[in-house]
Amino acid sequence: MVSSPPPPDKERPGKTSAAGRVQLIEHRGKQILFVDYVNCDATTLKELILEGHRALSRMPLKSALTLNDVTGTYFDQESVRLLKETVVKNDPYVKRGAVIGISGLQSLIYSAVQAFSHRKIPHFSSKEEALDWLVQD
């Protein structure tokens, strides 16, 4: 269940640190915790998983709207294990979550994470579609 490593990320020079890739964004007046996993290698992915959990754990229970973009992300066995465990830990804080950028082998990882965590996290084909779904009442 391992995907191919991403190419070097030259187009995202300001987005290399985990903290810079986990941010609150606003859509239609609501705050969304956006985690930008785009083109991450396994090491950066693990840092982001932990940073995302730190950010969520400071929020009130069942309050967070989350969006994760996994476009071109590389998963190894250890990062998949960590992701599964952390999705379970994140559940008490998340009101509604969504994923974008799933393709190829990532579909298998996505299914495994949902099965392990007993969470239904819909995936969308575009960021705009996901944001609209997150903020609907």
How far apart (Å, rounded) are the C-alpha atoms in residues 9 and 38? 9
Task: Give Cα separations from 90 to 25, 34, 50, 128 (angstroms).
Answer: 19, 14, 10, 23
| 33-62: average pLDDT | 96
Q: Binning pLDDT at 50, 70 and 90, where does residue 10 land?
A: very low
Amino acid at 20: G
| 75-82: average pLDDT | 95
Answer yes or no: CATH 3.30.750.24 is held by domain 22-135: yes
Look up the pTM and report it.
0.86
Which residues contact residue 76 at a Cβ distance below 8 angstroms, ignoring those fewer than 6 apart?
A: 2, 42
Question: Where do the structural domains in the chain lie, given as residue ranges?
Answer: 22-135
**Among 66, 1, 64, 73, CA closest to 43:** 73
